[in-house]
Chains A and B, each alone.
Chain A
């Protein structure tokens, strides 16, 4: 009643309002109810209805969240470099191994190789090694892998094959824990930086499963690091190994082991990008007088577990790099959202604050006017 009179009075005589910080007309609307302050840009037009104090608290909390998400993004970026260095450190091993594997295979061309790890059996049971991350806040990373695992399990069921799962990483572990109808063989913990010891633990498990003929095929599900914003969950056949050391996809697409693909994080035009290079390792010949201390078959028997280990370690490293990249991009968009939310909230807060001041001034003026 008196408010509405006042509003009309203010609108007709704009010069009477305090000129210092107010522009009178726009604050008439919020004077009724502070609910029409939806900024035109935001697609989710949530109505912000709070008092001044709550708004202040919300702005504070959004600011803190923004600091945290930005810090997480920088930490993830630093860790991606470390993960990349780990991949680079692993190259001398795999290069030497591949070179030796090639040479031995040339010597064994005509012989019949009978090594437990390369035995191809009719498949009745398949083991799936699923590599997930340990922590959340990484966008759709863990979800993609788990969805791919479920899809593969459905395929295997449709083919009438039995399956068992080896889950690596806390997220996968908790997912499979909640689903007792999926037979899980072992739960393994991932870690911040995959070392040979962890790869060894997985390799031991897989080795014993395969050699004891409990499973006839082992497939590895991990995320391939394609670029900073894209990663691909892939399925590779881990066992049986081909004696030549080829890495095969489930569809039978085989990549030669000598073609080593590695990724490098570099900057191009000020932005972080990923370059993938395919390098063909030089398979130089051994000196002709190289003697094998043991039977070439025994030597191959010792080489293949090494190869298995390095494959598993490689996939763990790629998964880690993809997880970090996913976390980087998720935290980056979270930071952007926090900035925008803070801007909107500040705008509403300022409008309310100014409306309150206007109200007080109007009361004072009306009171003074009433005395006259």
Chain B
């Protein structure tokens, strides 16, 4: 009984194969999914998806979306997804610093909303890179 995971972004399929277990970050906390999980639908927060393939954990940075789990099929729809191994640690760190600087400079409701989103995304990417090492 294996779990089939499908991670979709608007322009490509990021992951479409079998996994043993995943840990998903949702708006209401992290949930772990094992084979034969009860069917649920949940919103996915900007955070990290951990995938276990035979005792090896992989991380993926997800930029918010939706997940549907049922019948040993997990479908995750996100705005953008990046594998932890594909992210350059230095570049992610720089992006994080720029995002923090932007947030400090932000004025007005609109800029604060934008800056907050950018900061959360940058932070997730840095965490995804660090979580492997």
Using CB atoms and an 8 Å cutoff, list the residues of chain B in contact with chain A: 8-13, 26-28, 31, 38-44, 63-66, 68, 70-71, 75, 77-80, 108-111, 113-114, 117-118
CB closest chain-A residue, reference B44: A302
* A294 engages B27 (CB within 8 Å): yes
Q: How far is the CA of A86 from the CA of B11 in the complex (A)?
A: 7
- Given A96-B75, A200-B80: A313 and B11 interface contact (C-beta under 8 Å): yes
Q: How far is the CA of A94 from the CA of B118 in the complex (A)?
A: 24
A190 at the interface (CB under 8 A from B): no
A114 to chain B, nearest CB (A): 16
B113 to chain A, nearest CB (A): 5
* B10 engages A100 (CB within 8 Å): no
A265 at the interface (CB under 8 A from B): no
A196: contacting residue among B43, B70, B79, B110, CB under 8 A: B79
- Which of the listed residues A205, A208, A294, A305 has the most CB atoms from chain B within 10 Å of its own CB? A208
Residues of B within 8 A of A192 (CB): none
* A306 engages B63 (CB within 8 Å): no
- Given A204-B117, A305-B64, A306-B78: A293 and B10 interface contact (C-beta under 8 Å): no
Residues of A within 8 A of B41 (CB): 100, 104, 286, 290-293, 299
- Count of chain A to chain B residue pairs whose CB atoms are closer than 8 Å in the complex: 119
Residues of B within 8 A of A97 (CB): 66, 77
* A212 engages B66 (CB within 8 Å): no
- 1/0 contact string of A269-305 vs chain B (CB within 8 Å): 0000000000000000011011111100011011101
CB closest chain-B residue, reference A310: B10
Q: How many interface residues does chain A have, given as a range?
A: 35 or more
* B43 engages A298 (CB within 8 Å): yes
Q: How far is the CA of A204 from the CA of B9 in the complex (A)?
A: 16
Q: How far is the CA of A39 from the CA of B44 in the complex (A)?
A: 70
Q: How far is the CA of A348 from the CA of B90 in the complex (A)?
A: 64
Q: How far is the CA of A286 from the CA of B71 in the complex (A)?
A: 11
Tell me the A53-110 residues at the B interface (CB within 8 Å): 86, 89-90, 92-94, 96-97, 100, 104
Q: How far is the CA of A306 from the CA of B117 in the complex (A)?
A: 15
A214 at the interface (CB under 8 A from B): yes
B86 to chain A, nearest CB (A): 13
Q: How far is the CA of A94 from the CA of B77 in the complex (A)?
A: 9
* A290 engages B70 (CB within 8 Å): yes
Residues of B within 8 A of A96 (CB): 8, 68, 75, 77
- Given A90-B10, A293-B42, A309-B79: A200 and B66 interface contact (C-beta under 8 Å): no
- Given A293-B31, A293-B41: A89 and B12 interface contact (C-beta under 8 Å): yes
Q: How far is the CA of A89 from the CA of B12 in the complex (A)?
A: 6
Residues of B within 8 A of A197 (CB): 80
- Given A86-B11, A309-B79: A212 and B39 interface contact (C-beta under 8 Å): no
By Cβ-Cβ distance, the 8 closest A-B pairs, closest first, are: A302-B43, A293-B42, A212-B110, A212-B109, A93-B8, A310-B10, A208-B113, A208-B114
A211 at the interface (CB under 8 A from B): yes
A239 at the interface (CB under 8 A from B): no
* A306 engages B80 (CB within 8 Å): no
* A209 engages B110 (CB within 8 Å): yes
A281 to chain B, nearest CB (A): 14
CB closest chain-B residue, reference A316: B11
A208 to chain B, nearest CB (A): 5
* B31 engages A305 (CB within 8 Å): no
A195 at the interface (CB under 8 A from B): yes
A293: contacting residue among B26, B79, B109, CB under 8 A: B26
Q: How far is the CA of A220 from the CA of B113 in the complex (A)?
A: 22
A-B contacts, 21 listed (Cβ < 8 Å): A92-B13, A93-B9, A93-B77, A96-B68, A97-B66, A100-B77, A194-B11, A199-B11, A286-B41, A286-B70, A287-B39, A287-B70, A290-B41, A290-B70, A291-B39, A293-B41, A293-B42, A299-B42, A306-B65, A306-B66, A306-B78
A100: contacting residue among B38, B40, B66, B71, CB under 8 A: B66
CB closest chain-A residue, reference B42: A293
Residues of B within 8 A of A200 (CB): 63, 79-80
- Given A200-B79, A292-B40, A292-B41: A302 and B66 interface contact (C-beta under 8 Å): yes
Further contacts, 15 of them, CB under 8 A, given A204-B117, A209-B110: A90-B10, A94-B10, A196-B12, A199-B10, A205-B114, A208-B114, A211-B110, A211-B113, A212-B113, A291-B39, A293-B41, A301-B43, A302-B64, A305-B64, A313-B10
* A93 engages B42 (CB within 8 Å): no
Residues of B within 8 A of A289 (CB): 38-39
Q: How far is the CA of A209 from the CA of B113 in the complex (A)?
A: 9
